[in-house]
Structure 1
């Protein structure tokens, strides 16, 4: 009996001791109280959500997060400049197609620097709690993790169910072919400035990623083949790019100047019936102050192509600048770890962001409240293509795709000629980088 009592007492002391020593954000941040860190954010809902939550982090830690909001098209250039300048940048925003360049050049600190430090590593970090495709695509390079998924997207079909109903449809188009041939003619009335579909296509990354690439994979095409040679003049790629041209007849005039905000606003104001946009824009379209169609808003997966459901994949990770000071590195990590944590997933979602955590989307209340969740999770779990190569040369190739993709849409060059021009210039870039002589490891 005495032995049992002693064992119970020993267990109680051990548990009490463990509880007393349990990791807390407040204790981890104590050495960094008063530290200021710098971050770059975008003018998008996910960043507005993080900003809403910042006071909580700053109150708990005493760490000040200074942020600058920069247009997406200027973000990579600004970050690259700051990697080698005296201007501070501690929290690095990394697009899915920048990870190869940033990690390959040693600009990002591997997260093992922090996860191996018991004073900084939250035991509840749970890297396996992120959707695998997000952690792999946005935060990892060459078998090393450099950032945690933040503000992640799947391409989704947002549509005005009232406009579709008035045109005789009780559900969205299941395929791209159905959208073009059945839905688009009935949903377009140019005399009333009403159109079936808007595709964000402004020259730059929006053109190369959100417009041009979106129609390759669903049709069985791709930018490159397995040997990193252009695949743009293959039959499947040509069919996808020609489909985009055919669909332009049912888009608003000036579509080549539409960025995300213009496409989202066109749907929100009732000018178009459908858009394929990132999941992050649901909060904008569901906001009565910004949208006239809140009662008519509905969401589905992107339409299927001949090759099946191949939706767009986009988003970012947050990482730590390898060139920052030790205090700034630690403080930046504590912020990144906190804002992407499972504990903050629901508050982030409720503030208008899109979490990369799996657990939050299993909540029945979340599924009911946010209709974009189910199609987004279906897209992520089904696996989306690596439709934008993540290698370091992507920014240079993106410029080529953006220029020639716009030229194709404007009719200044044919689909075939434009694709050939992109392929030739793209192969020149990759040849100079050593992709065809064995000097470069072929990583995507």
Structure 2
């Protein structure tokens, strides 16, 4: 399956246009742009995660500056897509879409979100320092673009990182974290696991649902040279590389806590925070939870490194969202929502956003000496965003249905209810059936975006 790093023409045009705008006339562009929109109410969905709690902390500044009221509902991730789809299909009240990497195709092709060019061409409502080229290219393309068009700006973006208890590793004789998955399993894990003391080397969030399909199953395909699909969009799960990765995951389970298939992100993070496991691969956004003394016992023992490399190299998990303007909103709400999206993802608030617990998609903030010195996750995260797999999870509209299949059979694999080979065949067959019904094999749909 070929890579989808495609820089779109509209991105280049918008970047050039905003770069040429005179900044003197926009000493306080946000107040000027918002003046006609004072009293407008906009609405969106947030998650109960650090990045959203961070923007909520900063929200009074935006509302005071603009007179725009931002209404939000905090929804569990597992219910977010369904809730938004129901709202969009019933012409509800959401004016902003929270778009996961794997929903961008569905949301764009369904006409639920507007291209940002609809708004960025209007200088009266566009930040003269929008600087689209200030985002990590990997993030803007993976989260915000579809079919050569930019729909959203990166928000609450993650890289998979290795978080570890450096004190436990030191006690076991290690002065650095494992560099490869093989090293983690064969060298580190046996010395860090003592089931009699309920102490385990590693926890892999694997709860049935998107956590199982994306954070667990897909994580062990790419580094081992495998993939969900091949270049013909047929299942690639029976390739030796994909089978090697999935069998590796199964072998690694002996060093994980019992009941690992019920672990969501919170359980995996808490297991490390409380000293029950020595290592986890988790999203960079959870750094704040792991350094917070009210939620973590780690203190100075917290270590952060890039995800381990596999035979195909270091290809870490990529996750996160973009914020986009909902097509169903009124014109005033669209403009107000566009102002909020620009502000929430701007270079202007990137530093306070990171300091409040968020993870910005802006490159410049991670060059700040204070940020680099204060946050251990910055260096490994920035390194992982220099190159990666934009389609770590396929971004096409059929993904939600395929994700359910992977969640079911991936869980059965881990529980031993089906072999890795048997589960892979089931997933492959059912995935191809879904893609066939969607028209991916008869030319009705472009295979890659």
- Residue 118 (structure 1) shift: 1.0
Work out the CA distance in 2 between the residues paired with 1:287 and 1:271. 17
- Residue 19 (structure 1) shift: 3.4
Report what 2:4 is aligned to.
none
Work out the CA distance in 2 between the residues paired with 1:18 and 1:224. 47
Greater mean deviation of Cα atoms: 429-438 or 18-27: 18-27
Matches within 5 A, 1:35-434: 35-384=40-389, 386-434=391-439
Q: Is the 8 A contact 2:91 2:328 kept in 1?
A: no
SS of 2:124's partner is coil
Work out the CA distance in 1 between the residues paired with 2:288 and 2:202. 20
Work out the CA distance in 2 between the residues paired with 1:198 and 1:50. 29
- Residue 382 (structure 1) shift: 2.8
Q: Is the 8 A contact 1:23 1:123 kept in 2?
A: no
Shift in alpha-carbon separation, 1:333–1:383, aligned structure 2, 3 A: same
- Residue 22 (structure 1) shift: 4.9
Q: Is the 8 A contact 1:38 1:88 kept in 2?
A: yes
Aligned residues: 428
SS of 2:410's partner is helix
Work out the CA distance in 1 between the residues paired with 2:116 and 2:26. 23
Shift in alpha-carbon separation, 1:26–1:419, aligned structure 2, 3 A: same
Root-mean-square deviation (Å): 1.1
- Residue 367 (structure 1) shift: 1.0
- Residue 380 (structure 1) shift: 0.5
Matches within 5 A, 1:6-21: 19-20=24-25
Work out the CA distance in 2 between the residues paired with 1:383 and 1:270. 31
- Residue 18 (structure 1) shift: 7.8
Q: Is the 8 A contact 1:188 1:250 kept in 2?
A: yes
Work out the CA distance in 2 between the residues paired with 1:363 and 1:188. 39
- Residue 116 (structure 1) shift: 0.3
- The CA deviation string for residues 222-249 of structure 1, in whole angstroms up to 9 with x for no partner, is 0000010000010000000000000000
Q: Is the 8 A contact 2:365 2:371 kept in 1?
A: yes
Q: Is the 8 A contact 2:275 2:297 kept in 1?
A: yes
Work out the CA distance in 2 between the residues paired with 1:207 and 1:434. 26
- The CA deviation string for residues 164-218 of structure 1, in whole angstroms up to 9 with x for no partner, is 0010100000100000000000000111110000000000000000000000000
Work out the CA distance in 2 between the residues paired with 1:114 and 1:186. 56
Shift in alpha-carbon separation, 1:175–1:75, aligned structure 2, 3 A: same
Work out the CA distance in 2 between the residues paired with 1:257 and 1:62. 44
Work out the CA distance in 2 between the residues paired with 1:400 and 1:316. 23
Structure 1: which 5+ residue stretches go unaligned?
A: 1-16
- Residue 37 (structure 1) shift: 0.8
Work out the CA distance in 1 between the residues paired with 2:199 and 2:70. 44
- Residue 299 (structure 1) shift: 0.1
Structure 1 residue runs of 4+, over 4 Å off? 20-23
Shift in alpha-carbon separation, 1:20–1:73, aligned structure 2, 3 A: closer
Q: Is the 8 A contact 1:103 1:141 kept in 2?
A: yes
TM-score by length of 2: 0.94
SS of 2:423's partner is helix
Q: Is the 8 A contact 1:153 1:313 kept in 2?
A: yes
SS of 2:327's partner is coil
Work out the CA distance in 2 between the residues paired with 1:19 and 1:281. 39
- Residue 23 (structure 1) shift: 5.7
